[in-house]
Structure 1
Amino acid sequence: MELNNKQKKYLKGLAHNLNPVVMVGNNGINDGVLKEIETTLEAHELIKIRIRCEGQEELKPLVDDIAQKVNATLVQVLGHSVTLYRQGKEPKINLP
């Protein structure tokens, strides 16, 4: 799902007070981590995850891979915190 700038800004505002609900460690992503992200996205639509890695050059491909595998849209990356959005079957968040 493509988000326009207004929608991204709205989602960033909603995500501001969220705490990361999934932590990705130095071992990277595995089926358990992806399942947890899937489950959390289904329940909340908008989530933050925390990714531990060496640097920003490692972070971008990892984030893109996660977003693609769980069919989510990347909203923002701040440091090692990543915000993902995926609209639910019964949407809870009404995008502008």
Structure 2
Amino acid sequence: MLTGKQKRFLRAKAHHLDSIFQVGKGGVNENLIKQVGDALEARELIKVSILQNCDEDKQTVADKLQEGAQANIVQVIGKTIVLYKESKRNKQIELP
């Protein structure tokens, strides 16, 4: 679980990132969860955008990705989700 200070730090780092995944009509599936998990292992901090044709609620999508990838939700703002997970092999971000 992240503290408020850590979330603030990660939001600042994520501000300049581009979304690397898009959730569309298919919603969240096993393949997407696996790819998000792999990306989190490589990058630690990612953005996921939700397209207009997605049938699921943004908080539901965020919860499914968090649970599936064992990540932390940093922020859900608009149609964008910011996820963080500490990398086991490639640690880059040092939390305050």
Q: TM-score when scaled to structure 1?
A: 0.90
| Residue number in structure 2 paired with 1:72 | 71
1:26 is displaced (CA, Å) by 1.4
CA distance in 1, matches of 2:67, 2:34: 13
| Residue number in structure 2 paired with 1:94 | 94
1:52 is displaced (CA, Å) by 2.2
Aligned residues: 94
1:83 is displaced (CA, Å) by 0.2
SS in 1 for 2:87: coil
Checking the alignment, whether the CA contact within 8 Å between 1:53 and 1:59 is kept in structure 2 is no
Structure 1 vs Structure 2 CA RMSD: 1.7
| Residue number in structure 2 paired with 1:11 | 10
Consecutive unaligned residues of structure 1, counting only runs of 5 or more, are none
1:53 is displaced (CA, Å) by 4.9
Moved over 6 A (4+): none
CA distance in 1, matches of 2:67, 2:51: 19
Q: TM-score when scaled to structure 2?
A: 0.90
CA distance in 2, matches of 1:31, 1:64: 14
What does 1:35-54 align with in structure 2 at a 5 Å threshold?
Answer: 35-53=34-52
1:71 is displaced (CA, Å) by 0.2
Identity of aligned residues (%): 36
1:54 is displaced (CA, Å) by 6.4
